[in-house]
Amino acid sequence: MSREAVSDFLHAVEHSQRVRHAAASCRSDNELIALANQLGFLVNQADLNQDSRDSAITQWFEISRITSSFQSPPT
């Protein structure tokens, strides 16, 4: 239901061999969402879409020259 739920699910995938194996066997977003829900993570298609967009924007800013103008001065 939120980006936090997606993040928590991804954390579980990264840190649990069982969950990682189950996620790797998913063949569609629907199967992945069903797995997340079975494990208690309230994830839906909109969350996956939003996470994908947010990640793309973050990646763009990381490689863009614009980022330096938005960064706080070093302390």
Angle between helices 45-63 and 3-15 (to 10 degrees): 80
The pLDDT, as a whole number, for residue 46 is 86
The pLDDT, as a whole number, for residue 40 is 95
The pLDDT, as a whole number, for residue 36 is 93
Q: Cβ(12)–Cβ(37) under 8 Å?
A: no
Per-residue pLDDT of the chain (75 residues; tens, 9 = 90+): 477 888 898 889 989 999 999 999 999 989 989 999 999 999 888 887 776 666 666 666 677 665 555 555 566
List the domain boundaries for the chain. Answer: 3-63
Q: pTM for the whole thing?
A: 0.65
